[in-house]
Amino acid sequence: MTSHPGFQTPAAPRPGAQTSTAAGAHHPGTVLAAHSLTKTYGATVALAGVSLAVRAGEALAIMGASGSGKTTLLHSLAGIITPDSGSIQLHAEGGSREMTDMSEAKRTDLRRTEFGFVFQEGMLLPELTALENVALAAMLCGVERKRAEHAAGEWLAAMGLRGMEARRIGELSGGQAQRVAIARAQVTGARIVFADEPTGALDSATSSDVMTALLAATSRAGRSLVVVTHDPEVAARCDRTVRMRDGRVLDDSAARA
């Protein structure tokens, strides 16, 4: 494979080009639909029957107390773990695919090409530069090095990191490192970006900047964002919020609209 069809440069993200859709506004379609997901770890019920749809272009916040199952749900939706029961359909123009039936290899391929990830601590490779961290994600999708580095440079610039391409991760602030992680999540043309407490280690001003960058690069550019957060200010900037307790979805703001 010389290039992934979703591979792209950041022409799309134009911060502020599109205003946020209000909670409950009409969404054109569902990209990911989970039905009755369950997952237990020994005696612990992490998911007790969760159904949830992720719509095209929405920013969806998942909130809830520690231990309520947020990360387990995110990892299930993203194909990192397989739930014990239930189904997860990934919808695309060419048809739908059932993720829970897929081989590990197929799910790995899906994670690499269709999904992007932003974690609390970035999970960047400290021995690589900012540019190399982003370019590597594209290269793992089969993009040739020169093109990957070019696209990586453009994504870093779109994240406000022009001039910092050659810095190693340890030479960046926490907020800058998270913006590298956001660039990395975008460079493959991911349709859905999953973020687990992406601002959890940042002060509130930096957290706000990182959320601005994350929203600009995802839902405002037509991609979907699923973000686990403790922070009501982060959730308030999303289109929709789902609350979890004891492995269940308690409340979905879309249902109230």
Positions that interact with ligand ADP (CB under 6 A): 41, 44, 46, 64, 66-72
Angle (CA) 163-165-168 rounded to 5° is 120
* CB-nearer residue toward ligand ADP: 19 or 66: 66
* CB-nearer residue toward ligand ADP: 71 or 219: 71
* CB-nearer residue toward ligand ADP: 57 or 64: 64
Binding mask 65-104 for Mg ion (x = CB under 5 A): -----xx---------------------------------
**Minimum separation from the CB atom of position 227 to ligand ADP (A):** 12
Indicate whether 229 belongs to the interface with Mg ion (CB under 5 A). no
One-letter amino acid for residue 216 of the chain: A
Mark residue 26 as left, alpha or beta (left: phi above 0; alpha: psi -120 to 50; beta: remaining).
beta
Q: Which of ligand ADP, Mg ion, none is residue 176 near (CB under 5 to 8 Å by kind)?
A: none
* CB-nearer residue toward ligand ADP: 68 or 176: 68
**Minimum separation from the CB atom of position 189 to ligand ADP (A):** 28
* CB-nearer residue toward Mg ion: 71 or 133: 71
* CA proximity to 88, closest of 115, 123, 53: 53
Q: Which of Mg ion, ligand ADP, none is residue 72 near (CB under 5 to 8 Å by kind)?
A: ligand ADP
Q: Which of Mg ion, ligand ADP, none is residue 44 near (CB under 5 to 8 Å by kind)?
A: ligand ADP
Which residue is it, tokens 């594209």?
138
Q: Which of ligand ADP, Mg ion, none is residue 41 near (CB under 5 to 8 Å by kind)?
A: ligand ADP
- The number of CA neighbours under 13 Å toward the Cβ of 96 is 13
